[in-house]
Amino acid sequence: GAGVSQTPSNKVTEKGKYVELRCDPISGHTALYWYRQSLGQGPEFLIYFQGTGAADDSGLPNDRFFAVRPEGSVSTLKIQRTERGDSAVYLCASSPKGDNTEAFFGQGTRLTVV
Amino acid sequence: AQSVTQLGSHVSVSEGALVLLRCNYSSSVPPYLFWYVQYPNQGLQLLLKYTTGATLVKGINGFEAEFKKSETSFHLTKPSAHMSDAAEYFCAVRLSNFGNEKLTFGTGTRLTIIP
């Protein structure tokens, strides 16, 4: 595709459930980033992949959050035992190399935990 | 470590007037600085960036920003506002040392254009 694609665009889940959010980066982009944007806030860094490996996961808030990128392309952000505080827009971005000077963002997945 | 402060969560300007959105940063090493725009129901779009070189950078849609190290600022300006400029604007900073890929964003400024 032409841009970063995130699915689903909206997800409503019950407290305590497990969710997966998917990101398809721009073809050929080696770097992939996840951010979380809460209402009224700027995006907050979660994790960064260079290829298949997580180069920096310092932003993951706790061990309920996990992300994978097994083939160096598509990435999945996984949230276990969801809590109401996890409600936010989850943004994915990719860049053609690891210097992050040209990061392209997807439209995000709006997660609502009820 | 790095941080960004955007002064004014909401800014309103008349169509045709100067747009000035303020951004101050702190950074432990020379920073890379960015402005992103977010239109309703759309993703973040890069407006402009400063990495090295000329401190006055020009971006898309007539916006520009000037890196002022002495003031630790990277304010965004546009000489004449258009209705289509109404959106949310985010300033972001990244450390320039190799291997640091994390963008730190400000809380955003919502720009309203008055007809």
Summarised one tens digit per residue, pLDDT across range B8-57 is 999 999 999 999 999 999 988 888 999 999 998 788 999 999 998 899 99
More confident residue, A39 or B111: B111
Residue-level pLDDT at B2: 87
Q: Work out the number of other CB atoms within 10 angstroms of the CB of residue B10.
A: 10
Residue-level pLDDT at A113: 97
CA terminus-to-terminus distance, chain B: 41
- Which residue among A45, A98, A108 places its CB closest to the CB of B103? A45
Write out the two tokens for B17: 């007037």
Smallest CA–CA distance, residue B18 to chain A, in Å, is 24
Indicate yes or no: CB of A108 within 8 angstroms of CB of B94.
no
Residue-level pLDDT at A97: 72
Residue-level pLDDT at B62: 96
Mean pLDDT of B83-106: 88
A101: left (phi over 0), alpha (psi -120 to 50) or beta: alpha
User: Residue A98 pLDDT more than 60?
Assistant: no
Residue-level pLDDT at A99: 60
Could you tell me which of A11, A6, A7, A46 has the C-alpha nearest to residue A26? A6
Write out the two tokens for B24: 């101050």
Note the Cα A8 to chain centre separation in Å: 12
